[in-house]
Amino acid sequence: VTLPVLGLAEIRAVVTPRLIRDAVRDALIAHAEGRTQVPPPMHLDFPDARGDCHVKAGHVLGSPHFTVKVASGFYRNPSRGLASNNGVLLVLDATTGLPVAVLADEGWLTAWRTAAAGALITDALTPPEVREVGVLGTGLQARLQVEWLHALRPLAQVRIWGRHPEAAESLSAELRRAGIDAHAGSLAQAAGAPCVITATAATTALADASAFHSAVHVTAVGADMPGKNELPVALFGAAAVIATDDHVQCLDHGDFGNAVRAGATTADADTSVGAVLRDGVGRSGLSIADLTGIGAADAAVASAVLSAVP
Amino acid sequence: VTLPVLGLAEIRAVVTPRLIRDAVRDALIAHAEGRTQVPPPMHLDFPDARGDCHVKAGHVLGSPHFTVKVASGFYRNPSRGLASNNGVLLVLDATTGLPVAVLADEGWLTAWRTAAAGALITDALTPPEVREVGVLGTGLQARLQVEWLHALRPLAQVRIWGRHPEAAESLSAELRRAGIDAHAGSLAQAAGAPCVITATAATTALADASAFHSAVHVTAVGADMPGKNELPVALFGAAAVIATDDHVQCLDHGDFGNAVRAGATTADADTSVGAVLRDGVGRSGLSIADLTGIGAADAAVASAVLSAVP
């Protein structure tokens, strides 16, 4: 009757970026090919605690496991000495429905799979010679997006902008210690890079479309629930390629959906991230990747972790 | 970093029917008063394994916990020596979002809270002098509905019908050993009782409305996901009181919804189970209770279990 609980230390001991990246890549491609089951996420709000929570379930067809994941963000936690974000992932057997394990990953698997998805699609949609990246955001996900992309293509110049300049300085210093040429910069400098990554909890566009004047590719990972918005809708009107990790989710609560509702693009203008990862895409102007996070990636990552545990 | 897992034995050691019943009653009333948060459930299907799974989340406002529950039914399990139904309940802190405990209850908390909700509303809507009950269904939930109702009002004559007569005989014998005057009967005998409870996985009405000719109250607990149907739609047209545990869920996948879509009643014809439990209802003809199971009841039961654990 004992359901094993793997804590973060045990998970960290077996997880490698390659393990996560391969699992996420496979899941995104499976999702693009209709070989996944991903019900619409559930959201709960805790306004008194400045908290929100979403629940995502997923199954890659043919996989032995499916997962139900709870991810929370409670923004008063830091004042209690706790991390804002947390999470638990429940792994179940897809043949019997029995619970197999609990991954008490404190939200790290979500952070890593988001980093993996972002790095994979940014790398796939950014011309190989581009090494300059602008980053809007200074949190954990901003750091991971840079680090995981750097692992795929060494970056030459990273400009970090955040609402709090000291946070941008601090993240830049941290990245430099990791051997990445990163410096804090203005919003104009960061958004003006040829490759831009947004990883914020913004609820209105971070900059006008004109600020992205030199962009060949933009990846947005922050819009994970209704009400969030990072990119200006006009940018979607200018894009030659719009890649979404899940068409329905991105329409519902991604930046793509914001742009469609504003009439800047059409609901059928997107292609799937998985198809881009599988087939590549002929370059012709600006590309945008809108990531909302899919349950099938959680399921694939959980299976990979379980298969790696001794 | 250790997340406590309570197994079924530990849960059984602290759970009493009164504990569950009080928690469920409070949750149903809170839900009727808008003091809960219950997102639409998620469903997953595993056709190759004849399995389905639903995920329910819930929070009673002001409670220290919220829950995310996975309940599964995998109908090939018995051939492997496993129970068809299983479940896990994740309890989280409503102030910090942190996971508090995992209740690896093997689906029993769901079974008990369903039994409690059914017994409470059946007792509330059945005139006190009625002691004869007809039961359609022979599974665990059929047994629990009878036992938990018997604890509220001793039953004098219980007629059990099932598709498999030997299952009805077996359940009747089991109930008699528990001191309840139960016997297997025909569909006409069971449906013809003054108080009828349906607890099946049926996908079409179990009998015509005329079969319920003597009913003053009917409780249906089987329709827990889209595609299920126990009661004939015409019965709703004849009902003076229709009580639903959740208006939206019952419209979506309860027998009430089936009746509304068929035009036998209107979408505003129901009252909430919680309001009936709080205020009672003036009797005037047939009453029907349609229960789909609410996440807020799971949350209340989980909180009650945790507060009872030493």
Nearest CA in chain A to B66: A44
Lowest-confidence region among A214-228, A295-309, B185-199: A214-228
B180, B150 contact by CB (below 8 A):
yes
Taking residues A264-268, what's their average pLDDT?
97
On average, the pLDDT of chain A sits at 95
User: How does pLDDT run across B192-248, given as a tens digit for each residue?
Assistant: 999 999 999 899 999 999 999 999 999 999 987 788 899 999 999 999 999 999 999
Element (H, E) at B273: helix B273-279
Given a cut of 90, whether residue B36 has pLDDT beyond it is: yes
Q: Can you point out the beta strands (E) in A245-285? A: 270-272
Distance to chain B for A67, nearest Cα, Å = 10
User: How does pLDDT run across A116-156, given as a tens digit for each residue?
Assistant: 999 999 999 999 999 999 999 999 999 999 999 999 999 99
Given a cut of 90, whether residue A283 has pLDDT beyond it is: no
Check residue B282 and give its pLDDT.
Answer: 81
On average, the pLDDT of chain B sits at 95
A34, A9 contact by CB (below 8 A):
no
Nearest CA in chain B to A5: B3
Distance to chain A for B214, nearest Cα, Å = 40
Check residue A226 and give its pLDDT.
Answer: 81
Distance to chain A for B224, nearest Cα, Å = 17
Check residue A310 and give its pLDDT.
Answer: 80
Taking residues A21-25, what's their average pLDDT?
98
Residues of B in contact with A102 (CB under 8 A): 3, 5, 90, 102
Residue A146: phi, psi to the nearest 5? -70, -50
Q: Are β-strands A217-220 and A287-290 bridged in parallel, bridged antiparallel, or unpaired?
A: parallel
State the CB neighbour count (10 A cutoff) for residue A16.
11
Q: Dihedral of the CA atoms A101, A104, A108, A109 (nearest 10)?
A: 10
Buried b / exposed e over B62-94, threshold 16 CB at 10 Å, is: ebebbbbbbbbbbeebeeeeebbbbbbbbbbbb
Q: Are β-strands A99-104 and A182-184 bridged in parallel, bridged antiparallel, or unpaired?
A: unpaired
Q: Which amino acid is at B217?
A: H
Check residue B224 and give its pLDDT.
Answer: 76
Residue B144: phi, psi to the nearest 5? -65, -40
Taking an 8 Å cut-off on Cβ atoms, the answer to whether A53 and B99 are in contact is no
Nearest to A55 among B9, B57, B77 (CB): B57
- Which residues 6+ apart lie within 8 Å of B163 measured at CB? none
Q: What size, in residues, is chain A?
A: 310
Given a cut of 60, whether residue A1 has pLDDT beyond it is: no
Q: For tokens 């056709």, name the residue.
A: B47
State the CB neighbour count (10 A cutoff) for residue A132.
17
CA distances from B209 to A157, A255, B205, B228, B289 (A): 75, 51, 9, 17, 15
Shortest CA distance to B264 belongs to which of B229, B291, B294? B229
Check residue B266 and give its pLDDT.
Answer: 97
Complex ipTM tops 0.90: no
Q: Are β-strands A85-93 and A65-74 bridged in parallel, bridged antiparallel, or unpaired?
A: antiparallel
Given a cut of 60, whether residue B188 has pLDDT beyond it is: yes
Check residue A70 and give its pLDDT.
Answer: 96
Residue A191: phi, psi to the nearest 5? -70, -20
Residues of B in contact with A46 (CB under 8 A): 59, 66, 94-95, 97
Nearest to A72 among B70, B92, B106 (CB): B92
> What's the half-sphere exposure (Cβ side, CA atoms, 13 Å) at B138?
23
Task: For chain A, report the end-to-end CA distance as a whole number of angstroms.
Answer: 20
Distance to chain A for B192, nearest Cα, Å = 37
Q: Give CA–CA dist B112/B21, Å, rounded.
A: 9
Check residue A137 and give its pLDDT.
Answer: 97
Sheet holding B270-272, edge to edge: B182-184, B157-161, B132-136, B195-198, B217-220, B287-290, B241-244, B270-272
Taking an 8 Å cut-off on Cβ atoms, the answer to whether B97 and A88 are in contact is no
* Most confidently modeled range among A215-224, A276-285, B160-169: B160-169
User: Which residue(s) pair with A85 in the sheet?
Assistant: A73
Taking residues A180-200, what's their average pLDDT?
97
Residues of A in contact with B99 (CB under 8 A): 70, 86, 88, 104
Taking residues A98-111, what's their average pLDDT?
95
Shortest CA distance to A80 belongs to which of A57, A108, A109, A51? A51
Taking residues B129-154, what's their average pLDDT?
97
Given a cut of 70, whether residue A182 has pLDDT beyond it is: yes
Check residue A53 and give its pLDDT.
Answer: 95
Distance to chain B for A215, nearest Cα, Å = 37
Q: Give CA–CA dist B34/A70, Å, rounded.
A: 24
Nearest CA in chain B to A38: B44
Q: Running DSSP on this structure, what letter comes out for residue B163? A: S
Q: Which amino acid is at A170?
A: S
State the CB neighbour count (10 A cutoff) for residue B164.
9
- Which residues 6+ apart lie within 8 Å of A79 measured at CB? none
Taking an 8 Å cut-off on Cβ atoms, the answer to whether A86 and B97 are in contact is yes
Identify the residue with better confidence: A224 or A118: A118
Taking an 8 Å cut-off on Cβ atoms, the answer to whether A95 and B49 are in contact is yes
Taking an 8 Å cut-off on Cβ atoms, the answer to whether A49 and B94 are in contact is yes
Q: Give CA–CA dist A57/A294, Å, rounded.
A: 8
Q: Give CA–CA dist A99/B217, Å, rounded.
A: 38
Nearest CA in chain A to B75: A96
Check residue A14 and give its pLDDT.
Answer: 95
Nearest to B102 among A43, A94, A102 (CB): A102
Residue B2 binned pLDDT confidence (cut-offs 50, 70, 90): confident
Shortest CA distance to A149 belongs to which of A15, A243, A24, A17? A17
Taking an 8 Å cut-off on Cβ atoms, the answer to whether A72 and B43 are in contact is no
pLDDT above 90 as % of chain A: 94
Q: Give CA–CA dist B175/B180, Å, rounded.
A: 5
- Residues of chain A whose beta carbon is less than 8 angstroms from a beta carbon of chain B are 1-3, 5, 7-9, 37, 39-46, 49, 51, 53, 55, 57, 59, 66, 68, 70, 72-74, 77, 80, 82, 86, 88, 90, 92, 94-99, 102, 104
Residues of B in contact with A51 (CB under 8 A): 94-97
Q: Dihedral of the CA atoms B283, B285, B291, B294 (nearest 10)?
A: -30
Mutation for testing the A interface, residue in B8, B46, B61 having most A CBs under 10 Å:
B46
Q: Dihedral of the CA atoms B26, B32, B33, B38 (nearest 10)?
A: 90
Helix %, strand %, coil % of chain B (to 5): 40, 25, 35
Nearest CA in chain A to B46: A94
Count Cβ–Cβ pairs < 8 Å, chain A vs chain B. 148
The three-class DSSP label of residue B166 is helix
- Three-point CA angle B276, B279, B283, nearest 5°: 65
Check residue B164 and give its pLDDT.
Answer: 95
Check residue B269 and give its pLDDT.
Answer: 97
Nearest CA in chain A to B65: A46
Residue A225 binned pLDDT confidence (cut-offs 50, 70, 90): confident
User: How does pLDDT run across B280-290, given as a tens digit for each residue?
Assistant: 988 789 999 99
Check residue A121 and give its pLDDT.
Answer: 98
Check residue B93 and give its pLDDT.
Answer: 97
Taking an 8 Å cut-off on Cβ atoms, the answer to whether A3 and B2 are in contact is no
Q: For tokens 């093997």, name the residue.
A: B106
Residues of A in contact with B296 (CB under 8 A): none
- Residues of chain B whose beta carbon is less than 8 angstroms from a beta carbon of chain A are 1-3, 5, 7-9, 37, 39-46, 49, 51, 53, 55, 57, 59, 66, 68, 70, 72-74, 77, 80, 82, 86, 88, 90, 92, 94-99, 102, 104, 106
